[in-house]
Amino acid sequence: MPDPGSGDARPDLWVRLEFGAMRFVKGHGTENDFVILPDADARLDLGPQLVATLCDRRAGIGADGVLRVVRAKLCPEAADQLGEAEWFMDYRNADGSIAEMCGNGVRVFARYLVDSGLAAPGEFGVATRGGVKRVRLGATGDVTVDMGSPRVLGVSRATVNGREYAGLNVNMGNPHLACVIDDPVAELDLTREPGFDRATYPAGVNVELFNRVGDHTVSMRVHERGSGETRSCGTGAVATAVAAAHAAGEPTGTWSVRVLGGTVTVTLDGRTSYLTGPAVLVASGSYPASV
């Protein structure tokens, strides 16, 4: 029997042997898409290879990442969050790596909890590796999350298609480099990971490039650590709004961030940041397929 936690070469086989098949739900927030794995009792032990297989767009279900839904009291990572959140979002990137936070992911996670009856519409906390995130949502419609206070850690540089761009180093629980650029973002080739300063970002970085396109409106593209170019990134949208606000000399305000998969809204009030946008569930099934 392969070791479930080791990322064995046959994760599909391991799942079949151990569980028969596992249930999944597919969802997205502005086309930043996720495989949601309901695992209330913490029975799944996801190795990186299983995550990568699930996220594979040709050989698997296909997604930018995985959201495992597990009771917070069963997760050591959430031990200090138990009074504030019943559920823990165990987020993994498409390559199987673990990240501290996912802004679109936590909105989709909240939509899953409400739609499946695990939480009531309204406001509640979700435990994450980046601390408790308060979400607000109705029975339908957009989801807002309090993303916390962005930490601005200075400036750094990214290299894309041989061009170097200066940007703001913003930590949203996870690392970001948000660069306002003059070149049109629509013309960038982000199929390769941008160059960045490994001394500043020893664990890698999510790189956002954006143009200001209107009143408190920016157009952003992103290359995510562990997932490649995605059609949206919630933590990246907040980092971008922070960099846009910094460039405008306006520390507070509301920004529209246009991404390839739609538009999200970011509000900076000087104390915290809020991210609002659509979060939808589109399909459910079992993996491996049981027919």
Ligand X SMILES: N[C@@H](CCC[C@H](N)C(=O)O)C(=O)O
> Which residues bind to ligand X, rule: CB under 6 A?
32, 93, 99, 102-105, 174, 206, 224-227, 230, 233-236
> Nearest approach, Cβ of 28 to ligand X (angstroms)?
10
Tell me if 214 is assigned to a ligand binding site: no
Write down the catalytic residue from 55, 75, 102, 179: 102
> Nearest approach, Cβ of 249 to ligand X (angstroms)?
26
Tell me if 171 is assigned to a ligand binding site: no
| Residue (99 or 160) nearer to ligand X, CB | 99
For the record, the structure tokens of 238 come out as 């907040």
Tell me if 169 is assigned to a ligand binding site: no
Helix (H) / strand (E) element for 16: namely helix 11-19
| Residue (70 or 102) nearer to ligand X, CB | 102
| Residue (25 or 264) nearer to ligand X, CB | 264
Could you tell me which of 92, 175, 81 has the C-alpha nearest to residue 134? 81
Establish whether the linkage from the previous residue to 2 is cis, with ω within 30° of 0. Answer: no
DSSP string, 231-259: S--HHHHHHHHHHHHHHHT-SSEEEEEEE
Does the annotation count 233 as an active-site position? Answer: yes
d(CA 291, CA 279) in angstroms, rounded, equals 29
Does the annotation count 102 as an active-site position? Answer: yes
| Residue (15 or 47) nearer to ligand X, CB | 47
Q: Helices marked H in 31-185 — which ranges? A: 48-55, 103-115
> Nearest approach, Cβ of 236 to ligand X (angstroms)?
6
d(CA 254, CA 267) in angstroms, rounded, equals 4
Tell me if 234 is assigned to a ligand binding site: yes
d(CA 270, CA 112) in angstroms, rounded, equals 30
Write down the catalytic residue from 55, 75, 179, 233: 233
Active site residue ranges: 102, 233
Summarize the annotated binding site as residue ranges: 32, 93, 103-104, 174, 206, 224-225, 234-235
